[in-house]
Structure formats: structure tokens, C-alpha cells
């Protein structure tokens, strides 16, 4: 059956534009993963493409469709979400991409996942992965972390040791611990020089926030 997205397409509608429209109707939003997230990932992916190269159409479509199957952080099958998204994207794309592009699209979507521990190999997959990971950093990254922690009912931070100075981070209990358990590790896991430059600026924003928080709660922050 033809989807509504395809019914209203014109001869000048690009596949990336169709993918965006499809994501609007098909994606199940959860805390931290909504259309605003896709908009940001797409924008950053295009910025990385301009500096790094690659197949633009693959990168754009992958950016829009990378979260088609979006499972909550605490879902037991969370690690399978990116593979399921990749399969759903290929089904939707059908024969409107070449065989080579389809392979690149599948890899770019499947291997963007942090939780699944995939390693992207193609430039297109590296760019989509980096764009997604950059959205976990900076001011937006902190907002997404707080939103997700609140949705899962976690405490904001450990009142005696908010910055995991004398304990291992436990982001299953304390929201702020996610910064130390995952987010500060992301810059070392980026694949492109352009993404690493963005990450340095965003990490600085996060550290400024932690310093201000430390001053307010009586636990000076240092890294």
C-alpha cells in the first residue's frame, strides 16, 4: 500500500524530504528522542558532510530515519533498536536507492547506536553516528539527560557526591551520573575531525554548567 508520504510527493520531491515526512508520521517519540532531535541530527550531519564528504542522499535519509524504531532507555531490547530501524528504513526506501546506497543506509542507521556497540566503517555511517552523538553533548545534551532522567523517575544527583568523585557513576539511579558514565566518553568515540571540533566546544559548555552547579550545592566541581 502506498504511504501518505508517497501519495503527496511530486516529481521534484527529494528522497530526503520524503524521509523527513515519513519520520514525522512513523517515529514513536520518547524522552530525548523526538522530531526536534531528528532536526538537529540532520542539521549537524549536513554540516559534517560539507566538511568531510560522502554520499549526501544516504546521510540525509539516514539522519531522518535513524530512530524509526525508538525503544526507551530501560527497554530490555534497547540494543536491537538501531537494527530494527535500519530494516524499517530499507523497507520504506524500497528500490528508490541503488544497491550500494541501500547497503550504506543500513550501515549508517544500524551502527549509529551507542548501546549496541557497533563500529561504523563507511564515511556515511561515521557522519551519522557522530551527528547523533554530538546531540548528547552541550546544552541540548544536558537538557535531554535531565528530561530522560525525569521521565524514568531517577534522582537528579547524589547529594553527597554529585560528580562521582569517590564512587562509580550509577546513571540507573542518579540522572547527573549519566554525564560521567557516558557523555564525557563520547568525544573520544567520534570518528571525524569536524565532529571532534564541535565536541570540544560542547564539552566546555557542560563543564561550565557543572561548575555552576557545584558552587550552588556546596561541592566544587573539578575534572
| d(C-alpha 81, C-alpha 142), whole Å | 23
Q: Which fold has domain 137-222?
A: Hypothetical protein af1432 (1.10.3210)
pLDDT score of 146: 95
With the C-alpha atoms ordered 82, 114, 140, 169, is the resulting torsion angle positive or negative? positive
| CA angle, residues 47, 51, 56, in degrees to nearest 5 | 65
Structure confidence by residue, pLDDT tens digits, 19-57:
999 998 888 777 677 899 999 999 999 999 999 999 999
pLDDT score of 30: 73
Domain positions in the chain: 14-117, 137-222
Share of the chain above pLDDT 70, in %: 90
What is the second-level CATH architecture of the domain 14-117? Orthogonal Bundle (1.10)
Cβ atoms within 10 Å of 160's Cβ, excluding its own: 9
pLDDT score of 176: 98
Are 23 and 65 spatial neighbours (Cβ–Cβ below 8 Å)? yes
What confidence category does residue 2 fall into, taking pLDDT thresholds of 50, 70 and 90? very low
| CA angle, residues 122, 38, 5, in degrees to nearest 5 | 100
Amino acid at each position: 500500500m502506498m504511504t501518505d508520504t508517497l501519495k503527496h510527493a511530486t516529481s521534484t520531491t527529494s528522497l530526503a524530504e520524503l524521509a523527513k515526512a515519513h519520520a514525522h508520521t512513523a517515529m514513536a517519540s520518547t524522552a530525548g528522542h523526538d522530531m526536534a532531535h531528528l532536526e538537529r541530527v540532520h542539521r549537524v550531519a549536513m554540516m559534517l558532510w560539507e566538511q568531510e564528504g560522502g554520499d549526501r542522499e544516504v546521510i540525509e535519509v539516514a539522519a531522518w530515519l535513524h530512530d524509526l524504531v525508538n525503544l526507551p532507555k530501560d527497554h530490555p531490547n534497547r540494543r536491537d533498536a538501531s537494527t530494527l530501524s535500519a530494516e524499517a528504513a530499507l523497507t520504506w526506501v524500497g528500490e528508490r536507492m541503488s544497491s550500494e546506497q541501500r547497503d550504506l543506509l543500513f550501515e549508517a542507521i544500524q551502527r549509529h547506536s551507542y548501546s549496541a556497540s557497533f563500529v561504523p566503517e563507511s564515511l556515511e555511517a561515521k557522519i551519522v553516528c557522530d551527528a547523533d552523538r554530538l546531540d548528547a553533548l552541550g546544552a541540548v545534551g544536558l537538557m535531554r539527560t535531565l528530561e530522560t532522567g525525569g521521565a524514568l523517575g531517577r534522582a537528579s544527583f547524589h547529594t553527597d557526591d554529585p560528580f562521582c568523585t569517590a564512587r562509580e557513576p550509577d546513571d540507573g539511579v542518579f540522572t547527573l551520573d549519566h554525564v560521567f558514565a557516558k557523555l564525557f566518553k563520547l568525544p573520544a568515540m567520534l570518528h571525524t575531525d569536524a565532529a571532534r571540533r564541535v565536541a570540544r566546544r560542547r564539552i566546555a559548555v557542560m563543564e561550565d554548567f557543572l561548575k555552576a552547579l557545584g558552587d550552588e550545592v556546596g561541592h566544587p566541581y573539578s575534572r
